[in-house]
Amino acid sequence: MTLSDRFAEAFSFAAALHRMQLRKGTSIPYLSHLMAVCALVLEHGGDEDEVIAALLHDALEDQSHSYPGGAPGLRQAIDERFGMTVTAIVGGCTDTDTHPKPPWRARKEAYIAHLAAAPRAVLRVSVADKLHNARCILGDYRMLGENLWERFNAGRAQLLWYYRALVQAYREAGAPSGLVAELDRTVTELERLANGAGAS
């Protein structure tokens, strides 16, 4: 697949939207996460709409509060620039576009439930997103240990529950098996380390 000028425009748009955002608890530009998710989608058979949606998958959740017209304005901008398919995928990867965000557990339970009927394009981008997040959590846990959990709104038990529930939901929904298997391996290793530390 050869990527078109739409991809270059999406990259610039995503970089502008997230230019001031950092990865939680770090000094790493948030764009690194969007690039990593985009790469995973490319490597696992995503088409250009899915690849563009990967770059924009957190736009509504993280940037709609500061965009002119809020979430409706940002949805319209994505739709006009990149089309309805991209907008639908981004929407399917968004657990909320309201600010302040609803309670964490309720949001995550609703997100897991919606995966059962999500289109394959949404599943591919979503599992790529969660895989990169899980890899980062695992890598940071190896460096920081239990101090890692302080950077999140939810604690260790809640996050481990969420990622294990995601693995099951993706598997049952028929998400791309290679991505799901890698997410499972990553979450299993995180559980092993974290539960070992919790028991000591």
* Domains of the chain with bracketed CATH: 5-199 (1.10.3210.10)
Q: What is the CB-side half-sphere exposure of residue 170 using CA atoms within 13 A?
A: 28
Among residues 47, 62, 79, 191, which one is catalytic? 62
Give the whole-angstrom CA distance, residue 89 versus residue 121.
7
Among residues 48, 50, 58, 61, which one is catalytic? 61
Strand, coil or helix: 194: helix
Segment 148-164 shows an average pLDDT of 95
Peptide linkage before 119 cis (omega within 30 of 0) = no
At 153 the pLDDT is 87
- Sorted by sequence, the CB contacts under 8 Å of residue 33 that are 6+ apart come out as 23, 58, 132, 133, 136
pLDDT digits (tens, 9 = 90+) for 69-116: 999 999 999 999 999 999 999 999 999 999 899 999 999 999 999 999
At 99 the pLDDT is 87
At 198 the pLDDT is 55
Is a pLDDT exceeding 50 seen at residue 154? yes
pLDDT digits (tens, 9 = 90+) for 117-131: 999 999 999 999 999
Check: CB of residue 156 under 8 Å from CB of residue 107.
no
Is a pLDDT exceeding 60 seen at residue 8? yes
**Would you call 62 a catalytic residue per the annotation?**
yes
Q: Quick one: the chain helix, strand, coil %, rounded to 5?
A: 75, 0, 25
Model-level pTM? 0.96
Long-range contacts of 107-113 (CB under 8 A, 24+ apart): 108/162, 108/165, 112/162, 112/165, 112/166, 112/169
At 42 the pLDDT is 98
In this structure, the number of other CB atoms found within 10 A of the CB of residue 2 comes to: 5
Is a pLDDT exceeding 80 seen at residue 197? no
At 200 the pLDDT is 47
In this structure, the number of other CB atoms found within 10 A of the CB of residue 97 comes to: 20
**Would you call 109 a catalytic residue per the annotation?**
no
Is a pLDDT exceeding 90 seen at residue 196? no
Look up residue 2 and give its two tokens. Answer: 């050869």
At 169 the pLDDT is 98
